[in-house]
Structure 1
Amino acid sequence: TNNKGDINYLFLNHMYKHFIFPLVTYDKKHDTHPVQTLSIFFSNKFSYTQTSKQLFIHINTLRARLKKIEELINVDFKNTDNLMNLYIAIRAYQSEKLINKD
């Protein structure tokens, strides 16, 4: 946002294009729910064990999904800037979906 609290839609569109669009497109073809996977992974403070339990998948399946996500959007989860941008993009996307449901 700017100093008036207005949302920077140019930045949001860039975030969607870079982080969300490739994941949503991939999900339509493969039904692996990458945005949901990441959201739960973030909510569980990057715990592979907790996330795999919550998603009802094997921990190695989770590791493979996360690796695929890194490849799809060209990020490294060891890079905190990548994680922060991805987190912001996911939360904005989820908020937008909630707003559009009403």
Structure 2
Amino acid sequence: MKQMTAKEVEALLKHDKSLNIVDVREVDEVAAGKIPGAVHIPLGLLEFRMQELDKSKEYIMVCRSGGRSGRACQLLDSHGYNIINMAGGMLAWEGPTE
């Protein structure tokens, strides 16, 4: 599974790199703040909503610490999606939130 650190993701966002970020945390966790522009799909709903994602794009998966996003990566990878896990999750995120 490909991984990227929170610092690497933040650096790409600062350089106006268009990223596809999917936050798989629960509603109450996302309400406390998410990476600007991230799409929220709770892990429990990902299997039912994965058709909303485009297989031709690369997605960075995010959760609180990296565990749930790792499971999301395994699920999506098994269905042919191009996925990167943000290691450390939002606990490691020091960039802006919305």
TM over 0.5: no
| TM-score, normalised relative to structure 1 | 0.31
TM-score (norm 2): 0.32
Considering only CA atoms, is the larger Rg found in Structure 1 or Structure 2?
A: 1
Please state which structure has a larger fraction of its residues in strand.
2
